[in-house]
Structure 1
C-alpha cells in the first residue's frame, strides 16, 4: 500500500511509519524537517500552519493518509480537503478526550461528544480541537474516515514524559511514592499496538470511531511500577500510599504522578472505558512488562533523557514534594 504520513517523525507518527515500512509499504512522510524520518521513506517538507504550507502535497496519490495532528482543526480540514480524491481513506489519530466528562460507563463510542468545529483556528481546548479534527476528516472522506480515539499512549519514542518519568524516578532507587490502590486497573495503549491496529484497520477498509486502549483488566498500577523496578534493576522500594494521603499533600493526579488517577469520575472515564469494538476489530495488546522494558531500552539508547514536546507541560513530582508525602510528620 502507498501511505502518506502527515507527521511521522515523532512518537505516534514514528511508530506508524516504522510499522508501515516493516510491512513493505511505500511510505511518504510530510513533515516540517525538525526531526529526521526513518530511512526508507520519501520525505516531503511543509508547515501546515503557514500560508502555502501544503504545497508539497498538491500532487501525488495514496491509498491511505494517516494524520496525527492535535492542534487547530483547520489544519486537518485543509489537508483532508486537498487530498480528497487522491487518497483512498483518511485515518485521523484522535483521542478519547472527545467525550463529554464524565463519560458514562459502558457506552464506548456511543458516549456524548464535546462540541468542535473543523474551521477552528485555535487549539487551546485539546478536546474541542480533536473533535474538530474528526469532523474535518469526516467532512472530506465520510465513511472512509477512520477515527482512532486513543487513550493514554505509552511506549518507545514517548515525548510526553509519563512512562519515562516513572522509569527515571524508579531507577534512582530509594523510597518511591507509589499511589494506591495497588490493584487499580489502568488503561493505556502501547504506541506500537496502536500503529499495528491502525494499519490493519485501513487495510481492511474500516471507518468510523474506535476507542483504542487496552481492556481495564489488562494490568494494574502495581504491575506497571513493579515492571519498572524489575526492568531498571533498581533497589527502589515502592511505598504504597492511600489516595487520600497523596491528595492531602497537594499532589496532582496525572500531572505530578503520571498515569495515576484516584478512584472517582475521572478514574472511571480514563481507566474503565469500554473497548469491545476495537477488540472485536482485532486489537491486540502486548504485556505491560514488554512496554516498560522496550521503553527503558529506547531511553538508554538515547542517553537516558526523553524528548519533551514543547507544547506539553513537563510532568512528574519533585523530590522535595515526594519526600513531604512520604514523611508527612516532617512537614513544618
Structure 2
C-alpha cells in the first residue's frame, strides 16, 4: 500500500505513520520540515498554505492519502484537487462538526454546522466541516471522514493527559473534579491509527464517530491510573462540579478532559459509536494509555511539546490551593 501522509511528524499523524510502517506500507510524509518524521519514510517538504507549496506532490501516485489538517478548508480543497487520482482520501475530522447542542447519543446522521471548502480562516467546527466537504467534492464515495473526539496517548501535543500526569506526579492534595464515576469517551491515538488504516484496507467511506464507547472509563479510573503509573503519593480531593464552577475554574481548559454534567458533557462523552465498533474499533484499557503516555514523557526528559496554535491547558497552583483550602 502506497500511503501519502499529509503531516506525519506529530501526534495523530505520527501514530498513523508508525502504524503504516509497521504494516510494511510504502509511506511518504509531506511536511514543513519543522520536526523529523519516523525513520523509514520518504520525506517531502512544502508549506500547503503558501503559493506553490504543494509542488513536491505533483506527479506522485498513492493508493491512499491521510490528511490531518485543522486550519483553513481551502488547504484541504487544494490538496484534494491535486491528489484526485489517489485511490482514497482520509480526512481526520472532528465531532465538533455537529451542531451544538447535540442530541444525547448522537450518531453520524446528526445535524452538522455550515461550512465551505473555499473558506479561509474560520472557527474550528466550520473549518473541519469545510475540510470534509473539500474531500467529498473531489473523492465522493472514496472519501473517509474520521470524526474523532478527545484523543489521548503518546506524542500528545495538546497537553491534556500530560498535564494530569505531571501534576499528580508532584504529589500532595490534588483537586479532582467530580462526579468521580462520570464516564469518559476518548480514543487512544494508536487505536485511532489502527482503525484508520484498517478502514483504508476495507475501503470504507463516509463519516464515522471515532471515540471509545460511552463509559469506557471514568474520571476516577483515569486519575487513579495516573497515581499508579507515576508512583505518586497524591491524594485526590474529589470536589463537586458546582464548587469548581463557582470558583471560576474553566472546564476542559483549567481542568483538562473534565466537563461537568450538562449539554457539553452529553456532546463530548455520550456519542454513539456503533458504526465504528461494527467496523472493528477496539479501544485499549485506560491504564495502558496512561502508562505509555507517562513512559513517553519520561523518555523525552522535559515538558510535553505543545502546538503553537493551541492555548495552554491546566490549573494554576495558586487557584488549586485556594479551592482546596476553602
Pairwise mapping of residues 156-235 of structure 1 onto structure 2 (< 5 A)? 156-235=154-233
Aligned partner of 1:264 in structure 2 is 262
Structure 1 Cα separation of the partners of residues 70 and 11 of structure 2? 13
Is 2:236 the partner of 1:238? Answer: yes
- The Cα offsets for residues 183-204 of structure 1, whole Å up to 9 and x where unpaired, read as 0000000000000000000110
The structural deviation recorded for 1:327 is 1.4
- The Cα offsets for residues 224-269 of structure 1, whole Å up to 9 and x where unpaired, read as 0000000000000000000001001100000000000000000000
Structure 2 Cα separation of the partners of residues 309 and 208 of structure 1? 28
Aligned partner of 1:106 in structure 2 is 105
- The Cα offsets for residues 134-175 of structure 1, whole Å up to 9 and x where unpaired, read as 000000100100000000000000000000000000000000
In the superposition, the TM-score normalised over structure 2's length comes to 0.99
Pairwise mapping of residues 87-126 of structure 1 onto structure 2 (< 5 A)? 87-123=86-122, 125-126=123-124
DSSP 3-state at the match of 1:44: strand
Q: What are the ranges of 5 or more consecutive residues in structure 1 without an aligned counterpart?
A: none
Q: What are the ranges of 5 or more consecutive residues in structure 2 without an aligned counterpart?
A: none
Structure 2 Cα separation of the partners of residues 180 and 227 of structure 1? 16
Structure 1 Cα separation of the partners of residues 51 and 318 of structure 2? 47
The structural deviation recorded for 1:8 is 0.2
Aligned partner of 1:27 in structure 2 is 27
Structure 2 Cα separation of the partners of residues 166 and 228 of structure 1? 7
Structure 2 Cα separation of the partners of residues 224 and 273 of structure 1? 19
Structure 1 Cα separation of the partners of residues 140 and 322 of structure 2? 53
The structural deviation recorded for 1:67 is 0.1
Aligned partner of 1:155 in structure 2 is 153
Counterpart pick for 1:145 among 136, 143, 154 = 143
DSSP 3-state at the match of 1:223: helix
Structure 2 Cα separation of the partners of residues 294 and 22 of structure 1? 18
In the superposition, the TM-score normalised over structure 1's length comes to 0.98
DSSP 3-state at the match of 1:216: coil
Is 2:84 the partner of 1:84? Answer: yes
DSSP 3-state at the match of 1:53: coil
Counterpart pick for 1:279 among 253, 258, 277 = 277
Aligned partner of 2:308 in structure 1 is 310
RMSD: 0.5
Structure 1 Cα separation of the partners of residues 45 and 89 of structure 2? 20
- The Cα offsets for residues 15-38 of structure 1, whole Å up to 9 and x where unpaired, read as 000000000000000000000001
Counterpart pick for 2:288 among 290, 299, 319 = 290
DSSP 3-state at the match of 2:298: helix
The structural deviation recorded for 1:107 is 3.0
Structure 2 Cα separation of the partners of residues 15 and 102 of structure 1? 31
- The Cα offsets for residues 31-79 of structure 1, whole Å up to 9 and x where unpaired, read as 0000000100000000000000000011110000000000000000000
Q: In the comparison of the two structures, how many residue pairs are matched?
A: 326
DSSP 3-state at the match of 1:62: coil
The structural deviation recorded for 1:106 is 2.5
Counterpart pick for 2:318 among 316, 320, 326 = 320
DSSP 3-state at the match of 1:323: helix
Structure 2 Cα separation of the partners of residues 309 and 240 of structure 1? 30
Is 2:8 the partner of 1:5? Answer: no
Structure 1 stretches of 4+ with a deviation exceeding 3 A read none
The structural deviation recorded for 1:216 is 1.2
